[in-house]
Every structure is written in structure tokens, then in C-alpha cells.
Structure 1
């Protein structure tokens, strides 16, 4: 029995509809915006619950020049992210409220489009990637994978579908570090990526089809959306952990009847009517992140403490229609990797890397060290990368896809290294040995160990992720990276915004349709260009 609600709630026919959103990641923020813009809800009737003191979920960016900045990751965009651009088209940008976030992003792409001239390096030298390294068997296997139904692929992994030589090809090194795939990840997700980004195959080495935001995604996207919602009276509750949601299952229908949460040390509950809506961000790729510094190591959190996983596990115990979270958290060794953010007091590292790569910051794209045991990848973003970043400070980012392997120069796993040691390993690979003392003295490194960062890529069945609107649901939806939608790809902002559109438009019977999903595989020109790329030498 749900305790008395905190607010007086009249008879459902006499009260306006209310919406409650669990989490403040991009999916929840987008859903809140669409509830107001398309659903007609008043801002004060929309409430978001955030268990931490920071909004934005995985689209985070914090820090300062003195202690060092931190980004757990950075998101890439491309011209066919139709849901994302629809959302950003009505949100004023942080730099110029007269422009939308979409306009700012498009203008920035024109000014700082990527043309990567050093996508892969090995032995301190740039690798010629004009030859993607495919064998004829690789090509046939790739085509066969893309033609195999997901129901047939099931829980097969990528390495189940290719010969071992495939994983030494330039294509694989580029593809896996662009999207963070490992050989043991889901063949279904790999197939979806191949089809979804087929139109980007011809520019995979230069990354010319990739778009980036002017600032990090927290400043460029989260802050503007939060400002837009706040201006309309939306309630964003910090330090509010949703602990449970009561769901009545009767005659095949599922109705959320009570939302329970903890805030300020007090347990509270909200009684829900059938008209009220609940949107749940189930699971989190950045849950339980631990951090290190120049002289400390991030200690891997092995216990799931984040409320998004706990809540999903409780709901999954009620009905199989709510998915199976265990499929995604069964092996931390296969779902974790480590990123690092470097804050420099001068441009010395930027100067060296720009001269080496042949591209200025903001134009060069990702640089992957092919012979790194950790498979290190770095990027120099256009500066400033933080909205309030001082002019005399430089910030850059990188990650290691295999943090449990011993380093090539620092002979221990990345996961056991301080930020100082991570920087030494990277600079040694780049053959910047003479610059190591100065760069170490003028830099702060913040490392981030993320246990579930690629959990959404783990092999799964077709029912392990709940549908956005579970079977029989009357007022409850799942949004974010761990809900199920056909064809589109997880680990993208686009997937989260598509889930938000789908949830809001369906539950409120909004007449406009969800933004269309681009399917380049239906375009003969795209297919031909991709085929030529597979045979490029």
C-alpha cells in the first residue's frame, strides 16, 4: 500500500496529468522537453528525479583549471541523427540564445570539420590506412553477418563471425576504437552499426562524416536543455533516489501505481493515477565510475550501487516484459574500460601532436595507437572545450579499450596505473620522450574507470532489453540505452532521444510521428560506395 502522497491529489478526472522521470540523462531530459512541447503538459507537472547532485547522466563534464577537468567520454554525431537534431532545433544554445543548439552544432561542423590524417599510428609512425586490410574471406563474412537476421545471430559474438585475421585489419582497429567495440561483444550490435553507418564507410579513415559539438556535451547540450526546462517550471530534484515503483499487473495490463524515492534521508512516495506517466532510465553505462589522479589509481567498483540498476532489477523480478539486466552486468572484464582527461598549462602537447599528425586541434579526429596493448586512443578537441575554460588552459581526452593488459612501456595494466603513468605510456608510444618531463610537470590527469561503459554491447537475446512501451503498459515506459528499439544503435545520443520520442508520443498519442530512422542500406548508391570501400587498396 502506497503511503499518503506528498502532494494533495484530487480525483484523477479533476487533476492535470503529471509525468515523473527517473534520471536526468539525455533520454529523460529529451522526454521532459517533448512532454511540454508536443504533449502539452505544464512544466510544474513534470518532475525529474536525479540521485546525484549533477544533471546530465553520462553526458558529464566537470572540473576546473587548478584541479583538472574531467570528461568520462565524448559523443559523436552525424548528419542523419534525425531525432537528436529535432530536439536540438528548439533549444537555445549556451553561447548565443538567438541560435539553436542544432544551428550552433552545424556551424561548428563547417568551421571544424574532421579530416583525420593520422587515424592509426604504430611504432611512432602514421599508418597508411588507404588499404583497410580486408581479405576476401573478411568481406564475405561481413556481408553474411549483415544479411543474417538478428533472431538467428542470437547471443553470438563478433569473434564468432570472423576469422582471427579480421581483428588485425586496419578496418577493425578504426571501427572498434571509433565505437568502442571488442571482439567479445554482440554480433547483433555490430551488425546494427554496420548498417546504420553504412554511408560513413567511404570516410571511415578520415572521419569526415563525424560531427562534434562546439563544447563538451554537458555544456553544449545538457545545460541548454536544463535551462529550457527550468524556465518552464519543470521540477528537477537532486539527491532524489527512486528506490521502487509499484506496478499493478491485472488482466494483461500493467499500471504504475506508486513511485517511491529517498531524498534528504527521508523515504517518500507519490501515489499515481492512471493518467500519470512514469519514464524509467533503466541501467547506466557510467554507473559506479571511480576516479584517479596524477598519483592515485581508480579502484574498480565491483558492486552495483547505482539506483538505475537496482531499480531495473526489482522491476525485472515482477515481469519478464521488463527485461533481464543480468545479461548486461555479468562480466565487468568485458564491459569496462578506462578514460582519462588531461588539463595542460600550456600548448606544448598540442603543438607536438599537431605537428606530428598534420592536423590542428578540432580538425584531426581520433588517433589510435595500433600497437598499444591498452589500445590507446586520443583526440584534440577545438579549444576551449569547456564553456568557461580560460584561454591559457588546454584540455584533451583519451581512453584505453583494454585496461587489464600490461603496458608496452609502463609494464603494468592501465587499471593499476596512476594518471602520471598513463601519460608516460602514451607519450612513449608517440615517441615524445624528450617532452615527457615538461608535459608531466605542466599537466593534471584525471582517470575514470567505468565498469559498465560498454555493457549495452554485451551479447543478449531479443527480450533482455524491455521495449520502450512494455506489453500491456498503460502509463510506464523505459528510456535510455537499455530499452529495445529495432535497427537503431545504442551508445549514441540518437538512441536515447529516439526512445524519448517513442515513449512520449506513444503514451500521449501524439499525432506527429517519431523522427525517421535513416536506412542507407536501401540506397543503391550507398551500397555501391560501401562495396568499393571494402575493396579499396
Structure 2
């Protein structure tokens, strides 16, 4: 295969001189790649000003076999959405000449699917849900959605409503309480981390995009293991490629972007200055020419998080008051404040409402946990109960658990230094504010040991030797699903609005028809930003639509 890096064409005379990408995360890395590969900007003219403490692509897996490992999983990193596949096709793999990241990911997918088919032949049916039966914990047929006729009619009516009519309503306001007890809802919510208090508009977009893939949610998923390889598969090779092309990376604590009004009354203002603050409180001022490009990521690129331990819960109340969390939203706050300094450009010049998202951690939090097992008992019992072999990609949800615990047993080892007699399991709770059935307090107030006790009790496993030989590290992410919270018109800004040389990206921008809390959403926004700011005659791939919605579109 030929080198996937295209030859540098003749540079257009209107090419922006410098590109400043401020923030962090996948959207910023993707923007840099598209600037190089599709807008033909030299890498030496691209500067990434990362903002920490949460730049979005820091190491997410760490720990050791003695003290316990930690897996910090965030956005759904599906590699098979159209914008993501296009992005992957542009990045050469540093270790495999002639191949792109898309080639390597596809080879990995085929390898894992082959392993799944071989395992499935010997293990029988997959189990997506377990619950209590007359004979104890057992498999639940996840293909039976347990939807009443009313639920089906409600879903049909819901999908045909306009986003304007749904407005600021939550999902809870659109369905009765019995709907949320259905197998359909348990599958959907635990697959997409969407909850009743989240935006009805967001749920409708999910249904429009993924409803015809419902059967896939009840079986093994390739992402069950590939999410743990996210950094090695994508982040590290992308950063290596960008550095090789001359892109500069620098870390800062804070940033603000200033605008200058055009003397032409009909022209838009332009970003004219970036102020960057270092850890030593030094001010770095960057002058921006009207022909330069600035792309900024809004809100935390990945949710801030805090760890508990096997014997202690996460200090939730103390953590959410930590001023460092506020720093994750500071750039967005600065942009909103700066836009108000240009009143004659309003309402075209607006950057949304960060307060709608950053003040509602009680509605957005997610608790995850990593189990380090030093006895084979748990894996043996789990495989016997579910038929899900380690590494096969299946997620298993305990349907009648108040916390809606979901676990995944990845291919071992997960960590390079992981001993052969140690296994690692990852899981999360969708409703951590509820009291457990066996541990009578909210999940986020539980130690790792208490989470494990609740889990093994639901599964009907003996506590010994599992609990005594395991270490569980809980992790709370207060803003994990904040991008899916209810919002009003204008709470999420468009990618490109009233500033001529500035675009905003990330989970908190609004991309019509697309669903947030995914890697593809970040990349989609980055593509819009590059294509529009560079006046390229192309558009990102449109969000996929389910067969049902395509059929309905034909009848309009």
C-alpha cells in the first residue's frame, strides 16, 4: 500500500498564516490532523496550547498489582462512525509503514471478531443482562424488550416530534415510570450512559441514529476491549504524527481569547489575541492576525475525576468543590464574557451557557470501578453464569440492581506489568445516587470493598475468596455525562458563529442531528471547524440515521 500521507499540493494564497488550537482532547488533535491533511497547513504553523489539569488525553490506565489497577474510561470511543473513520484514514501509523490508523484498527477488529466467533461456538449464548430468577441469579433474554403497547406508541410519537417541541424537557418528562423498568431502557441506558434526567432531544437523536442497531446492544461488542486500547491505538500515534510534522505542544493553566471589532459595520469581529497563563503565573500573549485560525475546545475535554480506595469512598462533597474543576470551564467562561464586550454583534455572537452544564454534577456524575483479582474464582463463576469469556467484548448489566451495575471482563492482561495470575475487571454504576440492596447507601459513598460486596451478592457468588483477595478502586466523574443534560436554545453554541477566524469544538457545541458523549462527536466538530474556517469545499459525513427514520424521511 502506498504511503497514506498525500503529497503537499501547491499552497493556496489565502492560507491562514498560523493556527492556534486551545484546550485539549480528541477534538483538538483531530483539528490539527485535518488542518495538515486537508487544508494543507504546514505542521510548523500549528500550535496546540493544552490546558490542564484535564487535557483530555492523559494516561488513563495506571496502578499496580499490589495496590490495585485503575482504568479511567471516558467517552465512547467507537472507531466505526463515519467522521472517525475518515480521520483515522488520514493518520499514518508510525510503526507500520504504508498503513493508516484505520488499517490497524480494522485489522484489530477482525482479529477480535474472529476470537469472539471461536469463543461463542464453545461458550453458547452471550449474556447481556442478568437478574434474580426463581433459582437464583440467571440470564435474562435481552432480545425481549418488555415494552408495553403504550411504550411502543409513546416511542413512535416521541421520535416524530420536532426538537423545538421537545424543548428543554427531560426523558423522564416524556415517558411514564414503567417505561424505565423495561429491558429496552436498561439496555439503552447502560450502553449509551443516558439517564432519565438527561435531555429528551439527546435521547431522540440517539434513537434516530441507533435504533436499528438495538440487537447489537444485546450481544458482544468489539468495543468491550478496544476501549482499553484507546491511547495506544489512537492517541499516542496521532500525537507522534503531529510532532513529526512539526506541530508544537505546550501546556498552560488557563487561557482567554480576545476579539476586535472590524471597522466595517457589516463585518464580523475577529479573534485578535490569546492570553495564556503558565503554572508559574507567567503571562504569554499571542497576537492573532485576522487571517490566522483559532480553534478552542469548550468545557473539560474529559471529565475531571477522583479516586477512592478499597477501604475509602471518594470524597465526593470535597471534590466537587475543588477549584481545579472550575479551571476546566474557565476558557468557556472567558469566551462568554468576551462576547458580551461586543454588544452590537449580538445575538449572532454567542458562545452558549456553560452554567447550565457545570453546575449540575448531581445529574451528570458517573461512578466507575476497577477490580484487581488475585484469585481465579470470580472469572470462573462469571463465565459459568453468563457464558461471556474474558476478552470477548460483552458487557453484562445486573438488570435488577438499584445501581444498574455493568461490568466488562477485558482480554488479559490489560496492563503491561500485569502478572499472569492477576485479572482486571472494569465496571460502572448508572444510578450511583441510589442505595444498594445489600449495601444500604449510595454507590458514590461506598468504598471499593463495599461495591464488590454488592456486586458479588447480586451475582450470587461467595464472598470468599473473592473479596479477601481483591482490590477495588472506585472513581467518580462529576461531569461524565454533562453534555447530555437538558438544555435550552443557545445553551450549546454552534461550531462556527460570529467570530470570523474562531471556531469552538468539543462535547458542548451543538451539531444538529448528532449525538454527544462520543469520540465521533468531537471529531465531527473538528471537521466542521476546519472546513468552514479554511473555506474548503467539503462537508463532514452526515450523522447516520436509523432505517426507520430514513423510511419516514421518504414519506415527508
TM range (shorter): 0.7 to 0.9
Q: Identify the residue that residue 428 of structure 2 maps to in structure 1.
A: 399
Pick from 213, 221, 232 the counterpart of residue 200 of structure 1. Answer: 213
Q: Identify the residue that residue 184 of structure 1 maps to in structure 2.
A: 197
Mark the CA change 1:62 to 1:509 in structure 2 (over 3 Å): closer, same or farther.
farther
How far apart, in 1, do the equivalents of 2:471 and 2:277 lie?
36
1:41-190 matches, cutoff 5 A:
41-52=41-52, 56-57=56-57, 60-73=60-73, 75-76=75-76, 81-93=81-93, 96=96, 99-113=99-113, 117-123=126-132, 124-190=137-203
How far apart, in 2, do the equivalents of 1:163 and 1:85 lie?
38
Give TM-score scaled by structure 2 length. Answer: 0.85
Q: Identify the residue that residue 267 of structure 1 maps to in structure 2.
A: 283
Does the alignment pair 1:219 with 2:232? yes
1:216-365 matches, cutoff 5 A:
216-238=229-251, 240-250=252-262, 251=265, 253-265=268-280, 266-284=282-300, 286-300=302-316, 301-303=319-321, 305-306=324-325, 307-319=327-339, 321-345=350-374, 347-365=376-394
Contact 2:224 2:410 in 1 (8 A): no
Contact 2:53 2:253 in 1 (8 A): no
Give TM-score scaled by structure 1 length. Answer: 0.88
Does the alignment pair 1:500 with 2:520? no
Instruction: List gaps (5 residues or longer) in structure 1.
Output: 1-12, 528-537
Contact 1:105 1:212 in 2 (8 A): no
Shift of 1:75: 5.0
Mark the CA change 1:447 to 1:93 in structure 2 (over 3 Å): closer, same or farther.
farther
Shift of 1:131: 1.5
How far apart, in 2, do the equivalents of 1:39 and 1:223 lie?
23
How far apart, in 2, do the equivalents of 1:255 and 1:61 lie?
40
Q: Identify the residue that residue 4 of structure 1 maps to in structure 2.
A: none
Q: Identify the residue that residue 381 of structure 1 maps to in structure 2.
A: 410
Shift of 1:368: 0.8
How far apart, in 2, do the equivalents of 1:137 and 1:328 lie?
33
How far apart, in 1, do the equivalents of 2:35 and 2:154 lie?
44
SS at match of 1:204: helix
How far apart, in 2, do the equivalents of 1:72 and 1:272 lie?
36
Per-residue CA deviations over 1:314-336 (Å, capped at 9, x if unaligned) read: 21233361111112133221111
Mark the CA change 1:444 to 1:21 in structure 2 (over 3 Å): closer, same or farther.
farther
Q: Identify the residue that residue 6 of structure 1 maps to in structure 2.
A: none
How far apart, in 2, do the equivalents of 1:408 and 1:400 lie?
14
Does the alignment pair 1:509 with 2:518? no
Contact 2:126 2:386 in 1 (8 A): yes
Does the alignment pair 1:456 with 2:465? no
How far apart, in 1, do the equivalents of 2:65 and 2:101 lie?
26
1:3-22 matches, cutoff 5 A:
17-22=17-22
How far apart, in 1, do the equivalents of 2:232 and 2:222 lie?
23
Mark the CA change 1:213 to 1:102 in structure 2 (over 3 Å): closer, same or farther.
farther
How far apart, in 1, do the equivalents of 2:306 and 2:189 lie?
24
How far apart, in 2, do the equivalents of 1:345 and 1:170 lie?
34
SS at match of 1:398: strand
Shift of 1:521: 3.7
Deviates more, 1:265-274 or 1:47-56: 47-56
Shift of 1:426: 1.1
Deviates more, 1:416-425 or 1:316-325: 316-325
How far apart, in 2, do the equivalents of 1:163 and 1:14 lie?
56
Shift of 1:287: 3.8
SS at match of 1:216: helix
Contact 2:56 2:301 in 1 (8 A): no
Count matched residues: 512
Shift of 1:444: 3.0
Contact 2:329 2:358 in 1 (8 A): no
Q: Identify the residue that residue 344 of structure 2 maps to in structure 1.
A: none
How far apart, in 2, do the equivalents of 1:521 and 1:15 lie?
41
SS at match of 2:466: helix
How far apart, in 1, do the equivalents of 2:464 and 2:471 lie?
13
Contact 2:371 2:471 in 1 (8 A): yes
Q: Identify the residue that residue 10 of structure 1 maps to in structure 2.
A: none
How far apart, in 1, do the equivalents of 2:222 and 2:213 lie?
6
Shift of 1:32: 1.0
Deviates more, 1:64-73 or 1:218-227: 64-73
Mark the CA change 1:249 to 1:484 in structure 2 (over 3 Å): closer, same or farther.
farther
Shift of 1:343: 2.8
How far apart, in 2, do the equivalents of 1:131 and 1:139 lie?
13
Does the alignment pair 1:417 with 2:446? yes
Mark the CA change 1:47 to 1:524 in structure 2 (over 3 Å): closer, same or farther.
closer
Mark the CA change 1:409 to 1:99 in structure 2 (over 3 Å): closer, same or farther.
farther
Contact 1:285 1:455 in 2 (8 A): no
Mark the CA change 1:17 to 1:49 in structure 2 (over 3 Å): closer, same or farther.
same
Mark the CA change 1:394 to 1:249 in structure 2 (over 3 Å): closer, same or farther.
farther
How far apart, in 1, do the equivalents of 2:536 and 2:414 lie?
37
How far apart, in 1, do the equivalents of 2:552 and 2:424 lie?
37
Per-residue CA deviations over 1:79-131 (Å, capped at 9, x if unaligned) read: 85011111112334577566433223223333334677221111222112232
Instruction: List gaps (5 residues or longer) in structure 2.
Output: 1-12, 340-346
How far apart, in 1, do the equivalents of 2:149 and 2:223 lie?
28
Contact 1:466 1:484 in 2 (8 A): yes
Per-residue CA deviations over 1:23-69 (Å, capped at 9, x if unaligned) read: 22111111111111112222222122223377544883333444433
Per-residue CA deviations over 1:213-234 (Å, capped at 9, x if unaligned) read: 2743122211111111121121
Contact 2:301 2:506 in 1 (8 A): no
Mark the CA change 1:461 to 1:315 in structure 2 (over 3 Å): closer, same or farther.
same
